[in-house]
A and B are shown apart, each in its own frame.
Chain A
Amino acid sequence: MLIKTEPPLLSIDRLAVEFVTPNGRVRALDDVSLQISTGEIVGVVGESGSGKSVTAYSILGLLPAEANITSGSITYLGSALRELGGRELKAIRGSEISMVFQSPQTALNPIRPVGAQIADVVMAHSPLNRAQAAARAIEALREVRINSPERRVHAYPFELSGGMCQRSVIAMALACAPRLLLADEPTTGLDVTTQRAIMDLLVELTRSRGMSTMFITHDLGLAAQYCDRVIIMQSGRIVEQGLTEQIFMTPRQPYTRRLLSATPQAHTKLIDLIPASEQQVFKVSSPLTAASKPNRAAVGSPVLRVRGLTHEYPLHGAPRSLLRLLGRRQRSDKDGANKFRAVDGLSFDVAQGECVGLVGESGSGKTTTSRLIAKLVRPTAGSIQLNGEEIADADPRAFARSAMRRVVQIVFQDPAASLDPRRTAFEAIADPLRRLEGIRRPAELGRRIRDICDLVELRPALLGRYPHQLSGGQKARVGIARAISVYPALVILDEPTSALDVSVQAVVLNQLDRLKRALGLSYLFVSHDLNVVRLMCDRVMVMKSGSIVEQGKVDDLFRDPQHPYTKSLLNAIPRIDFEVDAGSGAKQLSNFP
């Protein structure tokens, strides 16, 4: 074990932070101690509420007004940060210690060009004048691998993609060559391939500049792949910390073990997500009668059959006549002049009892596809057959009253946004029962809803609560309960767990699997997370720019991808595979071939 001889760059000693809320004082951090040395990348991993972001904000003195550091010290290069005055602290921010945040597009001033924002930072920390700072800004953009930086310098954030915005923020943070970079979930919300590119960039910059980076994330895979040391946090405390391979190969604390097992990896099975001690035998309290099972298609024929599904969105531009009036040259388009083709001639089947995954990055058309099949939007062309009946041409509004409405249901992406804030959980679940099955009598309704609550493991006591009084996992369960309450044949799951913590996700995914088997459901599982898709699905389809580029059995696709795009997607997934080289004892990641 290496013994570091030089003093650490940053040292946090027994830090405690309290938030003052209307409900009393809440401990956000409790006795947190950690160190970061020069040149190392330290990962701080935890679920929501673990206090990982609060730690970073405390270092730079960016805590909101209602938060107080109640005890402990933060030392940077020997000076105690808590004792610094406003001006000294501002001198450190951006030039010695920098921070990069989540959601890059909102992290930048929307009405100021990107280059000007970088120049502002440069001028705040150096005696350069505006022209020199502008030149430095161009250099900074070049260093983060942005093409034609001289042009991009004048761009506004809304003209840049998510990845480019994040690179710009990184450029801003590194423009004055800080020694420590705090990265708070910098890749959350970005596409998998972009995520990989940004992480590679961060690692490269850290190594080449001899910088240190504190990388805050909820994704254990990313931590495993990119960090030298890992710190696991839970509820404001540090649970375990150590070298990456130690934590992942020999975790000591039960929470660490649970977190590890809950993270979907290359070789895990669905049931492995939950630690053995918590796996329960699932019982259905009132077995389903034949009457309550939905119409099943004839044995052998698919539940869903999609052929040539196409959808175009009209683009808005200056009306043609106006452009002609002004004598401007019109944009020469071939066909589909002012239209954007989101889904282009999709064809696939979902068999009875199957779970088919639909994978793609943002802009691939997977969300549009799920909305088309859920009959929220009418497709421009193509056929959708549900249990043998054609539903593509039905008007979405009229479809709500047809008998086929109960055959396909959808679980939405954001559980919080998909629940009416003014209705209780009970009313949310009762809605489809009232509308689609005509159940009015309170006794029958109550019984039915209680059965469903058993199925999704939602405590009946929670039924009287409003969405804002429920946790993320509880809201997800209400959304699932609502979707399956009418026993549909096909359930579309639109990123059902992407907003949830890993441990909650593990439970919900297992539930979904059990429900599928108990109720004989078929799933169309839309996701960007290939690991989750591998766990849940039998077959998977990869979408790009509106078309399916590859489809097949899950194991085949993962083992031997054919299409280059599929290969790049698989490459970009962070993995936690460690092999110890017998000779040197050093870790080796068996990821990228």
Chain B
Amino acid sequence: MFAALPTQAHARLVRHRMLFLKEIPMGLVNFLLRRLLAAIPTVGALVVATFVIMRVLPGDPAIFFASSPVPTAEETAYVRQKLGLDRSVPEQLLIYLKDIGSADLGMSFTTGRPVLTELRERLPASLELATVALILALTVSIPLGVAAAIWSGSLFDHAARIISSIGVSMPTFVTGLILTYVFFLWLGLAPEPVDRIDMFITAPPRITGFLLIDSTLSGDWAALQSAAGRLVLPSVTMAIFVLSPLTRMTRSAMLGVLSSDFVRTARAMGLSDRTVYVRYAFRNALLPVLTTMGIVFSTMLGSNVLVERVFGWPGIGSFALNALVASDYAPVQGFVLLMGLLLIGINLAIDVAYGLADPRARRAS
């Protein structure tokens, strides 16, 4: 709004604002609108791409989307007609879009329920795992990266680099299995890698679907303890895998910023170490780290499937995988669509956060 107004009115508004708020992020609303509008064609591309992969590519999609592993001839014909496979590809696309638009993602014959319902029920499990893993990864990698930059060249720096390199070299399923072996089988510290909560403890009433939040809200401490306990190993497994890119990026961003001209100015003006490191160095170093988060999230959503398989986690990943193995393709399509949407949403959020943090990004270029 503010960017399009002539300057005098702008100045008056800014002066008004000065009385009430600290500072208005310049042109933020414009920026948000632009980003949202840019995301719409991406969603469109996502839907079309999913169509291409799942409908156009397979040999005979009718067999893939039938409701049993060995469909009868009438069944196949019925599915073919319903999916419009006897029509041209553009018409198929329209049917597909209509289905998606009316929230009809098909039926899963392995569970006998609509795909949308299954995904909706299982999504919080996967999201909770991914969120906890990300928080864990950030809590470790950012301080590690900052420390490695401040004490660059030291033994600590080299050790941090080697450890995170090892972490990213091991696939999540290997890390998960080894962690389970050590902590569950050998040391007996971790609970069984099956499900999110002990089967003898009743789950708290479903408010958000996130067990940690729900059990806290209903004061159910036994459930909270069990749920938290079961979250430890899978989230650590996921976190280890993304430690390396995050630490490395934090370190190089911090190193770059610490040797920059404006940090030299800040030091020359006698600002305290804390101000220099936090307000001048760290905030600026976070910008490239923020960009890396997009890739990190993509990796985590990808490894979701593997981790859920190893730990028997009842999320969307294991749902899709079980369906895939049983040649039940409607859930796989729904899963791919959902993953794409999640990624677009997350990238949008990161873009917005970046725009908030860096005023240069908000310029109408």
Contacts and interface: CB of A to CB of B under 8 A. Distances in A.
Interface string B1-23: 00010000001001100100001
B187 interface: no
A339 B272 CA distance: 46
Interface stretch (B193-201, B215-223, B225-233, B259-267): B259-267
B14 A107 contact: no
B269 A107 contact: no
B285 to A, nearest CB: 11
B269 A173 contact: yes
Interface in B266-289: 266-273, 275, 279-280, 283-284, 287
Q: Which of A91, A92, A148, A151 has the most CB of B within 10 A?
A: A151
A120 B271 contact: yes
B258 to A, nearest CB: 11
Interface of A: 60, 62, 86, 90-95, 98-99, 101, 103, 106-113, 120-121, 124-125, 148, 150-151, 154, 156, 158, 169, 172-173, 316-318, 322-323, 326, 328-329, 331
B359 interface: yes
A273 B44 CA distance: 68
B103 interface: no
A153 B130 CA distance: 42
B358 interface: yes
B265 A317 contact: no
User: Which of B266, B283, B357 has the largest number of chain A CB atoms within 10 A?
Assistant: B266
Contact of B283 (A86, A111, A326): A111
Given A106-B260, A328-B4, A93 B269 contact: yes
B360 interface: yes
Interface string B169-181: 0000000000000
B14 A101 contact: no
A109 B262 contact: yes
B364 A318 contact: yes
A150 to B, nearest CB: 7
Contacts of A318: 34, 364
Given A107-B262, A111-B360, A92 B270 contact: yes
Contact of B261 (A106, A121, A125): A106
B37 interface: yes
B365 interface: yes
Contact of B33 (A60, A108, A169, A326): A326
B268 A120 contact: no
A525 B287 CA distance: 42
A94 B268 contact: yes
A106 B262 contact: yes
Contacts of B260: 106
B364 A108 contact: no
12 contacts: A93-B270, A101-B265, A108-B265, A110-B284, A110-B360, A111-B283, A111-B359, A112-B280, A124-B270, A124-B275, A172-B269, A173-B269
A516 to B, nearest CB: 39
Interface of B: 4, 11, 14-15, 18, 23, 26, 33-34, 37, 260-262, 264-273, 275, 279-280, 283-284, 287, 357-360, 363-365
A107 to B, nearest CB: 5
Contact of A94 (B11, B269, B359): B269
B14 A124 contact: no
Nearest to B11: A151
A134 to B, nearest CB: 9
Contact of B284 (A111, A148, A150): A111
Contact of B264 (A91, A101, A329): A101
Given A110-B360, A124-B275, A93 B267 contact: yes
A173 B268 CA distance: 9
Contacts of B262: 106-110
Contacts of A110: 262, 284, 358, 360
B284 A124 contact: no
6 residue pairs, one from A and one from B, having the closest CB atoms: A93-B270, A94-B270, A94-B269, A106-B261, A99-B268, A90-B270
Nearest to A111: B358
A326 B36 CA distance: 13
Contacts of B26: 156
A109 B269 CA distance: 13
A212 to B, nearest CB: 17
Residue of B37, B260, B269, B283 ringed by the most chain A CB atoms within 10 A:
B269
Contact of A91 (B4, B37, B270, B358): B270
**Central interface residue in A91, A107, A111, by most chain B CB within 10 Å:** A111
Nearest to B24: A154
Given A103-B261, A113-B23, A317 B364 contact: yes
A89 to B, nearest CB: 8
B210 to A, nearest CB: 33
A541 B348 CA distance: 51
Given A318-B34, A329-B4, A62 B268 contact: yes
A412 B64 CA distance: 64
A527 B144 CA distance: 49
Contact of B272 (A60, A103, A112, A124): A124
B32 to A, nearest CB: 12
Contacts of B363: 158
Contacts of B269: 93-94, 98, 120-121, 124, 172-173
A322 B284 contact: no
B14 A154 contact: yes
Given A318-B364, A326-B33, A154 B265 contact: no
Nearest to A109: B262
Contacts of B271: 90, 94, 120-121, 124
Nearest to A60: B268
Contacts of B365: 316
Contacts of A94: 268-271
Given A107-B261, A150-B15, A156-B360, 4 more contacts: A107-B264, A108-B262, A109-B284, A154-B14
B358 A125 contact: no
Nearest to A122: B269
Contacts of A125: 270
A316 B268 CA distance: 38
Contacts of B23: 113, 154
A398 B280 CA distance: 49
Contacts of B357: 111
A317 B3 CA distance: 12
Given A93-B269, A95-B270, A109-B262, A322 B360 contact: no
Nearest to A330: B4
Contacts of A124: 269-272, 275
A106 B261 CA distance: 6
B352 to A, nearest CB: 16
Nearest to B267: A62
A120 B275 CA distance: 9
Nearest to A322: B37
Nearest to B1: A328
Contacts of B358: 110-111
Contacts of A158: 359-360, 363
B280 A109 contact: yes
B114 to A, nearest CB: 37
A61 to B, nearest CB: 9
